[in-house]
Homo-oligomer: A and B are copies of this chain.
Amino acid sequence: MIYDSPIEVRHTLHQNPEKTLQEHETTEYLFRELSKVDGITLHRPFLLGLVAEYRVNDGDYLLFRADIDALNIKEETGWEFASKNDCMHACGHDVHTAILYGLVLTVVEKRPNQNVLFFFQPAEEGGGGAQKTVDTGFFDRYAIRCSFALHVNDDYPFGSVATNDHVLFASSSEIDVLFQGVGAHVAYPTEGKNTLLALRYFLDAIDRMPREVEKPFLFSAGKVAAGEVRNIQPAKAFIQATMRTVSTEENDKMFDQIEKMAEHIEKLTGVEIRVKRLSVYPEVKIDKGLYDRLIPKLRERYQVLKAPMKMVGEDFGVFCHLYPSILFWLGTRREAFYPLHHPKYLPSDDIIPVGIEFLYDLFTFLSDEPAL
């Protein structure tokens, strides 16, 4: 039976992007194409996304993950396979998916003696697709030795790979702060409880919070509002913020400090402050043991660069906390440079065979390793 090539898969996905938690057509398309492939079993543990299982023995499994969702961005590439709707695969998930699809084809063709799960994951862009799928218990049925993911990036030269041996993406949490005070005419400031004042104290205190300077930390408010009319002191205010730390533990610790600080500001201002943490994405923590074993082998065939930690989040962090894991940046830079999420970011198709070969090499190295 004839199935689409990895590059055709990429074109199809790129033309028909679907937003986080709306990847219905994408899931159906991948399911349909992978159903044609002999030698794998398909699973749909969650509403969206799917897992292809390659099983040849009673041993352990490797887990490879790609993300399938797109962004709410209007494409500006002018490409012949450009998006047909208002979304865009501006974070390269179409490429990741095509590479993982290609890895499936390569594995069933070469039939190595190592079990694998290929996870086409939904909702990476803030939807918590990794955790949602893990929460179904599906992966608990498998002895997973380690997990891997790739992420394209113009920061690195075409065909190179980059990672590090500690943390690649920060732990990220969404934080809402609500301030409830009492309105008063601006001419009578002592008659009210001014939430704008409490909000400013709060942001000031966070800027000045004692912390370990070696540990990257970020608290940033993207949306802030206070009050309703010019001449009444604001009775209500809110902050929508995100906090990024080197680890989930650090995230918990800093959140505790912020809550304590808010209590003091409540006493100081009389304004009620409610600090809510909406979600915590774990950091993408690279397994040092795995790194030390694999990198020397990879260096023989690839340009392997050291990547700095970034204060962005990636929900592959969920797997990093379950299994020894590595996420690799896959360099896509040629002449033009565009950052991820840019309406003109467009890795070229020929990175796809490079990614497939790289993952299969990784696969081969690990097949030679002793089982769990």
Contact B231 A186 (CB under 8 A): no
Contact B189 A220 (CB under 8 A): yes
CA distance A242 to B186 in the complex (A): 8
Stretch of A22-30, A33-41, A60-68, A233-241 at the chain-chain interface? A233-241
Chain B residue with the shortest CB-CB distance to A218: B186
A56 CB, nearest partner CB in chain B, Å: 41
CA distance A118 to B318 in the complex (A): 78
Q: Is A200's CB within 8 Å of the partner chain B?
A: yes
One digit per residue, 1 when the CB lies within 8 angstroms of any chain B CB and 0 when it does not, for chain A 204-228 equals 1000000000000010111111111
Q: Is A244's CB within 8 Å of the partner chain B?
A: yes
B170, B226, B312: which contacts A185 (Cβ < 8 A)? B312
Question: Do A223 and B218 contact each other (CB < 8 Å), given the known contacts A187-B244, A244-B187, A311-B186?
Answer: no
Contact A174 B230 (CB under 8 A): yes
One digit per residue, 1 when the CB lies within 8 angstroms of any chain B CB and 0 when it does not, for chain A 158-183 equals 00000000000010001000000000
Interface size on A, residues (CB 8 A): 36
Q: Is A13's CB within 8 Å of the partner chain B?
A: no
Contact B241 A224 (CB under 8 A): no
Contact A232 B225 (CB under 8 A): no
Contact B231 A222 (CB under 8 A): yes
Q: Which residues of B are found within 8 Å of A312, using beta-carbon distances?
A: 185, 187
CA distance A229 to B244 in the complex (A): 16
Contact A186 B230 (CB under 8 A): no
A3 CB, nearest partner CB in chain B, Å: 37
CA distance A242 to B341 in the complex (A): 40
Contact B218 A222 (CB under 8 A): no
Most B CB within 10 A of own CB, among A186, A188, A226, A312:
A186
One digit per residue, 1 when the CB lies within 8 angstroms of any chain B CB and 0 when it does not, for chain A 240-273 equals 1110100000000000000000000000000000
Contact B224 A234 (CB under 8 A): yes
Contact A221 B227 (CB under 8 A): yes
Q: Is A203's CB within 8 Å of the partner chain B?
A: yes
CA distance A326 to B162 in the complex (A): 79
Contact A196 B221 (CB under 8 A): yes
Chain B residue with the shortest CB-CB distance to A229: B222
A127 CB, nearest partner CB in chain B, Å: 14
Offer 27 A-B interface pairs, CB within 8 angstroms, sorted by A. Answer: A186-B218, A186-B222, A186-B244, A186-B311, A187-B218, A187-B244, A187-B311, A188-B311, A189-B220, A196-B224, A200-B200, A220-B231, A220-B233, A221-B234, A222-B227, A222-B228, A222-B230, A222-B234, A223-B228, A223-B234, A224-B224, A224-B226, A224-B227, A224-B234, A224-B237, A227-B240, A230-B241
5 tightest A-B CB contacts, nearest first: A186-B220, A187-B311, A222-B230, A223-B227, A225-B225
